[in-house]
Structure 1
Amino acid sequence: MVLDSKGKDLFKYNKEYVLVIDAKPFSLNNYEETLEDLMALNFIMKGENIDFNYTDVMKNKGKLYYKISESTFNKIKRLNNIKGIYTYVYDKVDKKEAWSTSGMLSNIGQNKSVKDSFEDKLYNELKNNESPKKNFYLDDSAVYNHEEVDIKKENKNLKLTIDKELDDKVRNVLSKEEFSKYKNVGVILLESNTGKIRSMVQKDESYANINLGIEGQGFEPGSIFKLVTYATALEKAILSPQNTYVCTGAVCKSAHGRLTVNDALTISCNDIFGIIGNEIGYQSMVDYCKRLGLYDRVLNLQTENKNETLGVMPKEDDGMNNFAIGQCMTVSPLQIIGAVNAVINNGIYVKPYLVSEIIDSNEKTLKEFKTTSEKIFSKTTSEIVRDGMKDVVKKGTGVQAKIEGIEIGGKTGSSTSSDYTTHSWFLGTFNINGSTHTMLVFIPNLKSEKGEEVGGGNTAAPIFREIVKEINKK
């Protein structure tokens, strides 16, 4: 089983109903004793298969399996005198959830994993698990009338950091009519000080997981990367939030004139952050990025056809004007939320993690998983960046994430994909029951409609707002 942090089963199931007819004992039915029930079976099953005829079944060998409806199942269960038949129900995992968090982890061992990858380590722990078995027995009258479910007590279960209740609340928001125009949306929620992934959902779980950039190169983060640029420049004492720079419109669509760094963050000025990037320098920026977990797998999921992305590091020739504003590079949503979470967590990078324990059938911990952390930024640097994020929501590009009575800080981001669609981002922070959380909303491959320009501020930020409201409902 794959369980959430509170021990709840994370799978979504569809119930499947099955009738089994064992031809040999079925042929022993005495018409005088069971004719009424046989005729009833015939009538019931013709509702499922118009060609069904119990006399034809008697001519077969072995066991015949019929997938039936719940209504048919309940009717056949009342036919107690027929020899050689039994019914059962099983829970079938919804294949539409194949790329959900639990769906990916349920397939451990089905694809060849890379040695020492996270999946390889989990497989070595779980490889002796056996699926539950249902056993049916014939009595002396050749009637199947006893059932046993055999669940191996030695089986081990995965316990995740996910909170199913939070997962469900995120899904509820993503399914709202107002967001129906978005084909897919990725959402990640981190407990800021522990790195525990409390929710990791995408709207369409049948697509390769976008939160991990599965089987892809990742996505340009756009302006949410400015938070990394800002923190790096502060930490290197290159600037203070009140230093001023001039935007000439070289990169921005229009000239913003002279702005403080904090104001440049609030309105997301590309010109000024490009200047700051050049002051930081290529190698320094790369060094900070690597320490923040970028350009490396976070969960280290690797199999023959299910690889978490490494991301793509920008080349020095791409220019710091681009690097500093999140262009000419790619990341996964999980990588970038982990990196920015460092400033939310007082400068400490905590590597996000998903599996907390392996437990036995009695919920006893057999193995516990820990994450790693490193101090990257000072507390002062982190406070300055967080204050800037609050201004973004109060009066900048992130105003559509604002909620009266709840303090939110955040940053919008937009980038253009290779097919000229837009990737929209909003990354922010808020409290749940007094505990600080970091959340990312990512919408890939958006197209502008009716001349309206799409970006993180008018697409991802409203979803962020509604999720925060849903989570904080009493």
Structure 2
Amino acid sequence: MQIPTKFYKIIAIFSLFFLGILIFLGVVFKIIVEKRKLPRLYIEEKNRALRGSIISAEGYQVAYSNKLYKVAVNTRCIDPQKKELFVRLFSIYSKIPPHEVRQKLRQKRGYVVLSYTIDTKTAYQLKILSRKLNALDIFIPYKVGQRVIKQGLTILESGETRNFPYGDTLTPAIGYVSKYEDSGYTKIKGIKGLEKYYESKISPKQDGVIRGKRDIGNNIILNKEAFIKKRLDGYNLHLNVNMLLQKNIENILDTQKADLEAKEIIAAVMESNSGKILAIASSNRYDPKNIQKRDLPSLNPKFTEYPFEPGSVMKPMTFSLLLEHGLVSPLEVVRGYNGRMKLGRKYITDEHKFDWLSAENVIVHSSNIGIAQLAQRLSYLQFSQGLKMLGFGKPTGVDLPYEKGGKLLPPYKLKSEIYKATVGYGYGMTVTFMQLLSAYNLFNNDGYKVTPRIAAFITLENGKRIFLKKSKKRKILSSKTVATMHNILQKVVEKGTGTVAKIDGLEIGGKTGTAHISRGGRYQNAYITSFFGFANDAKHRYTIGVTVFEPKTKHFASQTAAPIFRNIVIELINEGYLIPKNEQ
């Protein structure tokens, strides 16, 4: 029996129908289970917080941060007929030369980064340009498989950059920063100086975030469902440093470094009663934005990180301890041995030869022999504990990181006559510049110790000031001892080793110090010279320090550090910080 042809046709139709249903179900199943790249209903925008600024006493931004943006384009989406128009418009808005844009577009086909260093203002202009390019139909779609892709300019935050508009001014105290990557975003952190010390204050606090539903233009709809977290930048740090005074003192140091052929010169000016540092300068500076290999020795500030044997600037410290314990009278007579005295197996010599001199003239004329004899009157504990009381052997607490404390001899070694003598005139121990500045400040602040401070306060986003913690004043020396030392240091300038620092109409006192440098256990014909003291008028009191490292054309402090001290005082007069009596 033959099966009709019609039957086969019906079977074929049903088979095709059944196959179509299977194909349909397969497609539906694939759509259900396959991860689809649909446009997100919710999107998020992040507004990165910035590091706070560092601002001088008169309001100049010494350091501040800017955002950097990355701008990219998909070259496949640029209409070949309008490519040159794109190049010209992009060049105008970005200020990138047209030939550089063309070169980048030729590098490869696809996603191309045109710049990583677009600033905030330019990024805003490029966003406007992006909309204009879309309106001009410069961007066209292309297909990848079943997907249709159309992309315009992509403008994204790429990182943060630190700017130092005054170049090397205030370095190395201000310090520098380094970059690091965090999820593709370049961040910065302080490495040295104020940038490091106040990292917790000036670092960004909170990134801003906006999250919500998007509209057809891919913009967030700001309604009650949107989530908004406010951006909080780092606090601004305000300094006690006056930039005009700072720059002028740096110029003085630059000139003197060249004249003396010195390795480095450092200086600082501090308001005596408050500890505010008005200037802290070095001749060896660097550009924090562009540090070179030659700058490496200058990155560590010598103010706090370079302990050295101070020499004769320690004599007033020894004398003040003698006065405090009632072991010396300024007018008593001390033997000078005509400039050469044997102590144990050692000979101690003086530059200025005396047979006899008063105790106060031991300081005025900087007698090693005189102070070596007087120092023997202190017990080893009185001497050791006294030096610590004056602030030696420990950090001062100034607002710079990595501060060194210097090194004192173990107390028992001060039982030795030789050690007691050498420490009495500034050898056998190491101190820092900042320790000396702080100690000399006692003689101009009625014996009260204050912590030196470069920064004054921080400001919040709303402008509110938060003053940084002030140190409590501590009475270290009696008023009687201070008055005597104040008078003796003035005599050093009037008739002793510091006469070059004298300026009529001002109360000026201080002490010179010339110390040999020890290398490999032997003292060399290389020197560190210093002058520390004060300059006052009727209303203002300032403590000033100068240290010269390895001068070559001259080596006595009276010829090197003291003239620089005088020039700094003249600058304080010029800027109105001091007014001589004859000008009042």
SS in 1 for 2:546: strand
Contact 1:188–1:201 (CA under 8 A) maintained in structure 2? yes
2:267 is aligned to 187
Contact 2:53–2:235 (CA under 8 A) maintained in structure 1? no
Contact 1:353–1:371 (CA under 8 A) maintained in structure 2? no
Matched, 1:336 2:475: no
1:361/1:403 CA distance change after superposition, 3 Å: same
1:415 is aligned to 515
1:208 is aligned to 300
How many angstroms does 1:162 deviate by? 3.1
1:330/1:85 CA distance change after superposition, 3 Å: same
SS in 2 for 1:427: strand
How many angstroms does 1:2 deviate by? 5.0
1:63 is aligned to 113
Q: Which amino acid aligns with 1:414?
A: T
Distance of 1:105 and 1:412 partners within structure 2 = 37
Contact 1:42–1:53 (CA under 8 A) maintained in structure 2? no
What are the within-5 Å matches in structure 2 for residues 302-317 of structure 1?
A: 307-314=402-409, 315-316=413-414, 317=416
Distance of 2:204 and 2:88 partners within structure 1 = 46
What are the within-5 Å matches in structure 2 for residues 381-420 of structure 1?
A: 381-419=481-519, 420=524
- Please identify, of 170-179 and 434-443, the stretch whose mean Cα deviation from structure 2 is larger: 170-179
Distance of 1:268 and 1:131 partners within structure 2 = 60
- Please identify, of 179-188 and 86-95, the stretch whose mean Cα deviation from structure 2 is larger: 86-95
Distance of 2:106 and 2:366 partners within structure 1 = 74
Larger CA Rg, structure 1 vs 2: 2
Contact 1:416–1:423 (CA under 8 A) maintained in structure 2? yes
Out of 87, 93, 97, the residue aligned to residue 38 of structure 1 is 87
How many angstroms does 1:297 deviate by? 1.1
1:371 is aligned to 471
2:390 is aligned to 292
Q: Which amino acid aligns with 2:395?
A: R
How many angstroms does 1:441 deviate by? 0.7
Matched, 1:360 2:464: no
Distance of 2:262 and 2:232 partners within structure 1 = 44
TM-score relative to the length of structure 1: 0.77
Q: Which amino acid aligns with 1:277?
A: A
SS in 2 for 1:417: strand
Tell me the alpha carbon deviations over residues 218-240 of structure 1, each in whole angstroms, 9 at most, x when there is no partner: 11111111111121212222222
Distance of 2:562 and 2:546 partners within structure 1 = 8
1:354/1:104 CA distance change after superposition, 3 Å: farther
1:65/1:340 CA distance change after superposition, 3 Å: same
Contact 1:48–1:68 (CA under 8 A) maintained in structure 2? no
1:339/1:389 CA distance change after superposition, 3 Å: same
Out of 313, 325, 349, the residue aligned to residue 252 of structure 1 is 349
Q: Which amino acid aligns with 1:38?
A: V
Distance of 2:110 and 2:233 partners within structure 1 = 39
Out of 314, 322, 345, the residue aligned to residue 445 of structure 2 is 345
Contact 1:4–1:164 (CA under 8 A) maintained in structure 2? no
1:166 is aligned to 245
1:265 is aligned to 363
Tell me the alpha carbon deviations over residues 435-461 of structure 1, each in whole angstroms, 9 at most, x when there is no partner: 1010101122x1544xx5x02211111
How many angstroms does 1:52 deviate by? 6.1
Q: Which has the higher contact order (CA 8 A, sep 6+)?
A: 1
Distance of 2:315 and 2:491 partners within structure 1 = 14
SS in 2 for 1:242: coil
Contact 1:161–1:356 (CA under 8 A) maintained in structure 2? yes
SS in 2 for 1:176: helix
Matched, 1:274 2:345: no
How many angstroms does 1:30 deviate by? 3.8
Matched, 1:469 2:570: yes
SS in 2 for 1:102: coil
Distance of 2:156 and 2:204 partners within structure 1 = 29
Distance of 1:351 and 1:222 partners within structure 2 = 24
Contact 1:222–1:325 (CA under 8 A) maintained in structure 2? yes
Matched, 1:430 2:535: yes
Q: Which amino acid aligns with 1:403?
A: I
1:472/1:7 CA distance change after superposition, 3 Å: closer
Q: Which amino acid aligns with 1:167?
A: Q
2:547 is aligned to 442
How many angstroms does 1:351 deviate by? 2.8
How many angstroms does 1:86 deviate by? 7.4
Out of 59, 75, 84, the residue aligned to residue 153 of structure 2 is 84
Distance of 1:105 and 1:286 partners within structure 2 = 39
Q: Which amino acid aligns with 1:292?
A: L
Tell me the alpha carbon deviations over residues 164-198 of structure 1, each in whole angstroms, 9 at most, x when there is no partner: 34323322322336646333222122211122222
Aligned residues: 441
Contact 1:299–1:354 (CA under 8 A) maintained in structure 2? no
2:46 is aligned to none
Distance of 1:410 and 1:32 partners within structure 2 = 79
TM-score relative to the length of structure 2: 0.64
1:21/1:354 CA distance change after superposition, 3 Å: closer
How many angstroms does 1:466 deviate by? 1.2
Matched, 1:102 2:203: no
Matched, 1:224 2:321: no
Contact 2:350–2:369 (CA under 8 A) maintained in structure 1? no
- Please identify, of 404-413 and 169-178, the stretch whose mean Cα deviation from structure 2 is larger: 169-178
1:147 is aligned to none
How many angstroms does 1:429 deviate by? 0.6
Query: Unmatched 5+ residue regions in structure 2?
Result: 1-51, 134-151, 180-187, 210-215, 219-228, 286-297, 342-347, 576-584
Contact 2:331–2:360 (CA under 8 A) maintained in structure 1? yes
2:205 is aligned to 129
Query: Unmatched 5+ residue regions in structure 1?
Result: 134-139, 143-149
Using the aligned pairs only, state the percent identity: 22
2:279 is aligned to 199
SS in 2 for 1:188: strand
